[in-house]
Amino acid sequence: MESVIQCKKVKDKEFIITHVSGFISTLFENKDLIGEDFFKLFSKLDNYILKKIAKSLEYGKTIHIFGYSSYFEKYLDIFVLPDKNSCWLTFSDMTKLIQKTTNVNKAKFFQDIELELLSSFLDPENLIDVYSSIATGILKIPEVEGVGIYQISKNEIKKLYETSTNFLNSEIKHDLIQVYRLKKYRIFNKFGKSYLVYPILHTDFVGELILIASFTSNVFDEYMLEFLRELEVAISITSDRLKLRNEIAQKNKHLEMVIEDILKVMSKLVELRDPYTAGHQKNVAKLSVEIGKELGFDNEELKILRYAALVHDIGKIGVPLEILVKPSSLSVLELNLIREHPRIGYELLSNLIPPFEKISKIVFQHHERCDGSGYPLALNCQEILLESKIIAVADTVDAMMSHRPYRPSLGFEKALEEIKINKGIKYDEMVVDACINVFEKDFKF
Ligand SMILES: [Fe+2]
């Protein structure tokens, strides 16, 4: 929209309008502007504009003025083109363009915050993490002074997150409860500030509210509300996902407990069948865990190591009892039958669900030795799982210290000597050192 005013210089500082077109003429309906003095007619025009126009006419210099005119309530682009005895003034209305740019900037601003917040919605530990990110994100809006997120139940307000301490005062608590009851956002002014309370109505609405304090109420516009609506949807999805994740975690925990019970029963089964080895798997498990700790295993790794050690000889179920308990030396055929037990154990334990799926492989390799002298595959040191190498050492130590049908206990010193002699040969160097450390710390079966 453009408007043109042409004036004729009559006297010094007196400019009579000779022509008007465009939106300015529509502002003065039923009034003939021709013949009016420009400065008298526009005496209430913004002072900075009037002064610049006067200067331009005084010095006969073309000028350009851009700014907001509260008189016209518009953003104007003004050109003043003075001539010797006349002048042209063009007024272009830039309001829509400016608003469009401001809105685009605003929309982009919220979009940027939303993008930043997205990462906090991806894999949060809990909703509080999400809320703290939201509050910090909203605080980036220049006019916003503080953000608080609260949970209401039975008129009790619990703080979930605040960007500044004691943000919520007793005067506002009533407004929060009202929003909670009506489940509709509310904007109000108190103590010279503007407040917005927004209820987060997600699937399991348990009374979460966002309270935003601002220096001005202008910030609580459609952009802000749209931004909060988008957040509400994201919170709802995240809340559902967290709920589902907790349910799955609970079910998995239950399933793990069932599997642990089964593994304990399996461990007892072997020992019931062969009383000579009673307590052996338990001992191996106890020592293996201590070696694992020395080697820096985390709790999850220690759990798997313990269960693998507890059932490492489960495959002996498939070996005839008379061979297992035979007091005299074994024939080649009998030895080969015994050497099948890691493979039988592997087959029995295969198809366990995560995190137990590794147990079968650990059991399969517990008689492998670093120098390739082990069985059933004669693997080399790099090919053998660390857990299997730990069980191998713990198994040897406990077996040598225990009574067997074919020999009495060889004692602790002999057992330790065996692993020391074969350190780096049959047994992994690191594992042997860790085992020695464990005994030096006064380990007892
Ligand atoms: Fe074994």
Q: What is the CATH number of the domain that holds 167?
A: 3.30.450.40
Of 4, 8, 7, 35, residue with least CA distance to 21? 4
For residue 265, tell me if it sits in a domain: no
The rounded Å distance from CA 331 to ligand 1 centre is 18
Q: Which residues contact 191 (CB under 8 A, 6 or more apart)?
A: 171
What is the dihedral sign for C-alpha 196, 200, 201, 206? negative
| Backbone φ, ψ for residue 113 (5° rounding) | -65, -45
CA distance 274 to 270: 6
- Residue 73 is part of a domain; what is its CATH number? 3.30.450.20
d(CA 267, CA 257): 15
The three-state secondary structure class of 136 is helix
Ligand 1 centroid vs 262 CA: distance in angstroms? 19
Cα of 367 from ligand 1 centre, angstroms: 6
Task: Collect all residues with Cβ–Cβ distance below 8 Å to 39 and sequence separation of at least 6.
Answer: 13, 14, 15, 50, 54
How many A from CA of 312 to the centre of ligand 1?
A: 6
Asked which of 93, 117, 144 is the last residue of a domain, the reply is: 93
Contact indicator for 418, 398 with CB cutoff of 8 Å:
no
For 159, 162, 182, 183, 222, the CA distances from 229, given in Å and listed in that order, are 21, 20, 17, 13, 10
Residues 165 and 311 in one domain: no
- How many CB atoms are located within 10 Å of the residue 410 CB? 16
Q: DSSP for 9-67, please give it.
A: EEETTEEEEEEEEEHHHHHTTT---TT-BHHHHTTTS-HHHHHHHHHHHHHT--EEEEE
Q: Does any domain span residue 40?
A: yes
Sequence letter at residue 318: G
The tens place of each residue's pLDDT in the chain, 445 residues long, gives 789 999 998 887 789 999 998 888 888 876 788 999 999 999 988 888 999 999 898 888 898 888 888 788 888 889 999 988 899 999 998 888 777 777 777 777 788 887 877 777 777 778 788 888 888 888 888 788 899 999 888 778 888 889 887 788 888 888 888 888 888 999 988 887 889 999 988 766 678 888 998 877 777 888 888 888 888 888 888 888 888 888 998 998 898 889 889 988 988 888 888 877 778 999 999 999 999 999 999 999 999 999 999 999 999 999 998 888 887 888 999 999 999 999 999 999 998 888 899 999 999 999 999 999 999 999 999 999 999 999 999 999 999 998 776 677 788 899 999 999 999 999 999 999 999 999 999 888 8
Q: Are 328 and 411 part of one and the same domain? A: yes
Contact 375, 368 (CB under 8 A): yes
Say yes or no: 318 and 416 in one domain.
yes
Q: Determine, yes or no, domain membership for 227.
A: yes
Q: Give yes or no: residues 388 and 280 share one domain.
A: yes
Closest CA to 292 of 301, 283, 284: 301
**Quick one: 412 and 297 in the same domain?**
yes
Alpha helices, DSSP H, located in 60-216: 95-122, 127-138, 170-182
Is residue 252 in some structural domain? Answer: no
**Could you tell me the sign of the dihedral formed by the alpha carbons of 363, 410, 419, 340, in that order?**
negative
Looking at 199, 223, 243, the residue that finishes a domain is: 243
The verdict on residue 289 lying in a domain is yes
What are the two backbone dihedrals, phi and then psi, of residue 346, each rounded to the nearest 5 degrees? -60, -45
Residue with tokens 């910090």: 136
Examine the domain organization and report whether 88 and 110 are in the same domain. no
Task: Report how far ligand 1's centroid is from the alpha carbon of 42 (Å).
Answer: 104
Instruction: Write the CB contacts of 202 (distance below 8 Å, at least 6 apart in sequence).
Output: 208, 232, 235, 236, 239, 240
**Cα separation of 355 and 347, whole Å?**
17
Specify whether 111 is located in the same domain as 13: no
Q: In terms of domains, do 206 and 116 share one?
A: yes
Last residue in a domain, options 78, 93, 108 = 93
pLDDT of 405 reads 66
Q: What does the radius of gyration of the chain's CA atoms come to, in whole angstroms?
A: 42
The pLDDT score that the predictor gives to residue 423 is 97
**Structural domain tally of the chain?**
3
| 254 domain residue, yes or no | no
CA of 396 to the centre of ligand 1 (A): 9
Predicted local confidence at residue 286, as pLDDT: 96
How far does residue 143's CA lie from ligand 1's centre (Å)? Answer: 72
Task: Examine residue 255 and state whether it is found in any structural domain, yes or no.
Answer: no
Beta-bridge partner residues of 195: 188, 213
CA distances from 179 to 134, 189, 197 (A): 19, 15, 7
CA 433 to chain centre: 40
Yes or no: say if 167 and 211 are a contact pair by the CB < 8 Å rule.
yes
Shared domain check, 190 and 104: yes
What is the C-alpha to C-alpha distance for residues 241 and 231, in angstroms, rounded to an integer? 15
Ligand 1 center from residue 342 Cα (angstroms): 7
Ligand 1 centre from 166 Cα, in Å? Answer: 65
User: For residue 365, what is the DSSP state?
Assistant: T
Residues 144 and 185 in one domain: yes
Same-domain pairing of 219 and 336: no
Ligand 1 center to residue 295 CA distance, Å? 22
Give the whole-angstrom CA distance, residue 255 versus residue 273: 27
Q: How far apart are CA 302 and CA 283, in angstroms?
A: 15
Q: How many CB atoms lie within 10 A of CB 423?
A: 19
405 CA distance to ligand 1 middle (Å): 16
| Whether residue 236 sits in one domain with residue 296 | no
Range of the domain at 207: 99-243
Tokens in use for 28?
Answer: 């003065």
Q: Is residue 257 part of a domain?
A: no
